[in-house]
Each structure stands twice: as C-alpha cells, then as structure tokens.
Amino acid sequence: MKKFYVTTAIDYVNAAPHIGHAYEKIAADVIARYYRMRGYDVFFLTGTDEHGSKVEKSALAAGKTPIAFCDEIAETFKQSWLNLGLSFDYFIRTTEERHAKVVQSLFTKLKEQGDIYKSTYEGLYCEGCEDFLRERDLDESGNCPNHKKPPRKIAEENYFFKLSKYKPLIKAWLEENPEAVRPDGRRKEVLNQLNDPELTDFSVSRSRKSLNWGIDIPGDHDQVIYVWMDALTNYITGAGYLTDDEHFQKYWPADLHLIGKDITKFHSIYWIAFLMAAGIPLPKQIYAHGFITVEGQKISKSLGNVIDPNKLVEEFGADAVRFFLMSGTSFDQDGDFSRHEFVRKVNAELANNLGNLLNRTLKLIENNLDGKIPDAKPEHDLREKANTLHAVFDSCMEKLEFAKAVEAIMAILDQTNKYINDEKPWTLFKEGKVKEASEVLYTSVEMLRRVAFQIYPFTPKLASDIWWQLGHDDNIEVLGDSDRPDGFFDMIPVGQKVRNTGPIFMRLEEAVKS
C-alpha cells in the first residue's frame, strides 16, 4: 500500500490558538482525508512547540510552572483541532521525554562529527522570530518587520551548526528538485538566501543565563538546545526515529511539510541541513502557504481581531469553517476572513447550491418513485463532464490548489442544477413520462454521490450526511482502498431506498438566530 506522511508546523504555546493556526491544520486534514480515500496509508502529524523564552515568560506571567502552562495550552490546541474535525494520527509535544532523547541524540551525533562547535556570538536577537537579525533586515524604525519590536543585542557563548558546509548541497538539492519547495516563488527566495554570504553558521543552543526552559545538552548543563533544532526535529520524532524503527522506515521521508511562509528559511535551509548532516533522507516537499488576515488586517492582539476557531465552530459548525477557509482564496496567497463573506459564500454554495439540489431530488424520488433509486442510466453528456471535472479536481488536490478543487465540485453542482431545471422532471411525471423523469433523477443522485466523495475532505460530516441520505449504510470515510480508490466511478445501486430527512445544510442566518 502506498503511504503519505503529512505534517504541519507545530504551534508555539505562548497563547491560545486562533484562526491563522486553524487554516494550516485544516489544510493538512483535507490532504490527509483526500489521500486516505485514494487508498493511501496516511500518517498525519501535528502538535505543539513548548520550549523557549516566550513560553517561559508567559508561564511566569500566568503564575504557573512552564510544564503546567504547556500542559494547559497544548490541550487547548489539541481540543481545538478535534472540534474542527481534524483526523491527525499523532499530536506531538516537544516536552515529551522521547522527543528530548531524539534531539539530544541528533545534537550529540552532529557535535561528534564536527558539524556542531562552540563559539561566541554577538548580534541582534528577535524573540518573536526566535532568530538573529541583521541591520538590513530591520524596518526604518529599527524594528523586526514581522513583530514590530526592536531586537535585543546579545553576546554569549553558544554551540553553532556548520551551515556553511551544507549550503552548496542544499542549493544543488533545490535546483535538482524543483518541486521540493513550493510555491516556486518561495523556492526562488530560498535560493537567493543561500547565495547570501551573510547566511552562515547559526546558533543551536542558548546559555542558561538567557534561557532555562529547554532541552539539556548532554555533558554541558550551562547550555540548552535552541528552538530550531528542538522544534524541527519533531517531524522525525513523530515518525518514530530512534524509538520505533518499523514505523519510521514505513513513513519517512515526509511527503509533505505544510508551513507558513514566515518560516520557510528554517524548514528549507536549517532543517534540510540537519537532515543532510545526520544522513537522514530529505522530505519530498515543503509547501509554504500564505497567511489569513481578518477584514484585511493582520491578526494581532493589539488590533483586537484575533478570532477563536472554537467560537466559529460553536456558531456555524466545523464544516462551514473548513469549507470557507479552504475555498476562499488560493493557498499560496494570503487569504482574508470576513464574517459577511463567510456567511454569503457558505450559504450560496453549501445551503443553496448543494443543499437545495439534494433536497429537491430526494423529494421527487420520494413523491414519485416510492423513495427508491430508479432503474435508469445517467445522462451521458453530464456524466462525461463530471468525469472530466474529476480529473481537474484530482490535479488541483495534488497541487494543493484547494480553491480550484472546490470550483470543480461547484461546477458539477451548477451543471446538475441546470440539467434538472431544463429537463423539469416534475413536469415529466405529470405527463406520464416516468422513464424520462427517472433518468433525470438518477443522473442527479449520481452527481450528488460523486460530489459527496469530492467534498468529503473539506466537509467530512456534510459528506457523510449526504451519503446517508442517498441510502448508503456503509461509511464514506472507509471506502478508499488500493483496488477501488475513492469509489467515484461506482454507480448508485438501483432500488436503494433514499432517506430524505430535510435540508442537509441550514442557512447560516438561521443558525445564528437559533
């Protein structure tokens, strides 16, 4: 069986999750569900990044120990993702004992072979970025452009990783594997960074005088392992490196690392260099997606526009949130959350387009065909169009073009709605043309059955409800296998009893009022 290993960036636990965090996690879940339906053995990893000065300070401000603070916030993240219907296979925390052992083992290996050495460094450190900045990186006010605060000038003795040794190898890897970092614009950014002579060896530890909350360095209690070697290593820890060799051999290398565009350098340069140094196979692809803004503004506590995904789920349901975030904009670009646009789009496409088509089709079958799927054949041209759109859908999903994939689904629904409106099966029944009317309705349920498969990764509960209303007793979630991936080209059984239990998706205004 083919495998697919997808990871998300792990979230820093200095604050509760917001809609920006949810965006990436939903995307990873869409990918995981899509490949499971195609018969792949999928491993989906997400989790939390729990060491570092920001966590230490946040814990102190909350009057808690760092581990107690991490336990609380990590559980909040995990529960948020469950509320959104995420199907992750493992939720990793960097405070796990097995992770510390993997990080320490990697550090020791690289130190023993000369890729990690001790030196003194003086520079401008941004706590928000967890990275050192150069003067030219700062904005006109002398602030970090991402966090709008001035970096601190620090000087201390640290352990450094010999990035200079691996830069040519990383550059060659990127040039030989154009799909290794996507979208292509971000790959070019990384290549430009590799050509920068100022990108050189970097710190992989911090002195306990400046940071105490971290993983111990074996044999040197005065230092702790710095965040990027700690955080990035979660991807191999989660896969079973040094703890479950069978699992690791099965799933590594990762097929896809999903990350935000602001941490492209760390994944496409630092992480690749660590793996090269350790002799571990490289991931197949790193995809750096855009951000989610709110009403055109960057998400910020100071602006008061942080949106809790749990509250959105409470108000509108997980499927609506998932659908809007994945269909609203191109995944490689920044997208925007607007409450007005959210309600408009979800109502138009899920309640009106999909919901109305299902409801009126099943009503006509119940009223005229004893509630059973008729013995008929689907209309040839519409079926061929659906087949063509399915190829488009698959291509878009493989390229992570989620908005375009949803457009293909909506195109099938639009064409089916037009077909029913043109053929008018209700009139055909009145005229005694049962065979002709039956063909129209069979075609409609066939298109709906196919749409259920395609929309499942985006809206799993909605798809399962459609599946059940069409009369199926099996589980749409487990139909994919290597011999019959996704079941798209199967046919709905003649004589199957449909279950019309009313509108499949309530308009959001109604949900708000209730």
Q: Name every residue whose Cβ is closer than 8 Å to that of residue 138 and which is 6 or more positions away in sequence.
A: 124, 144, 145, 150, 151
**From 111, 126, 289, 396, active-site residue:** 126
| Residue 153: count of CB within 10 angstroms of its CB | 9
Spatial distance between the Cα atoms of 499 and 514, rounded to a whole number of angstroms = 25
**From 165, 171, 298, 433, active-site residue:** 298
Spatial distance between the Cα atoms of 101 and 346, rounded to a whole number of angstroms = 46
Let me know if 298 is a catalytic residue: yes
Let me know if 399 is a catalytic residue: no
79, 247 in Cβ contact below 8 A?
no
**From 153, 301, 380, 513, active-site residue:** 301
Q: Write down the residue that tokens 């060491």 correspond to.
A: 51
**From 54, 129, 167, 265, active-site residue:** 129
Spatial distance between the Cα atoms of 119 and 161, rounded to a whole number of angstroms = 10
Spatial distance between the Cα atoms of 3 and 244, rounded to a whole number of angstroms = 17
Let me know if 396 is a catalytic residue: no
If we measure between CA atoms, which residue out of 393, 416, 391, 417 comes closest to residue 403? 393
Let me know if 70 is a catalytic residue: no
Let me know if 144 is a catalytic residue: yes
What sections of 86-162 are H helices per DSSP? Answer: 97-112
User: How many angstroms separate the Cα of 107 from the Cα of each of 79, 115, 160, 230, 267?
Assistant: 32, 9, 11, 9, 17
Let me know if 126 is a catalytic residue: yes
**From 78, 99, 144, 396, active-site residue:** 144
The angle that helices 309-316 and 318-327 make with each other, rounded to 10 degrees, is 120
Let me know if 18 is a catalytic residue: yes
| Residue 297: count of CB within 10 angstroms of its CB | 11
The H or E element spanning position 442 is helix 434-455
Residues with catalytic function: 18, 21, 126, 129, 144, 147, 298, 301
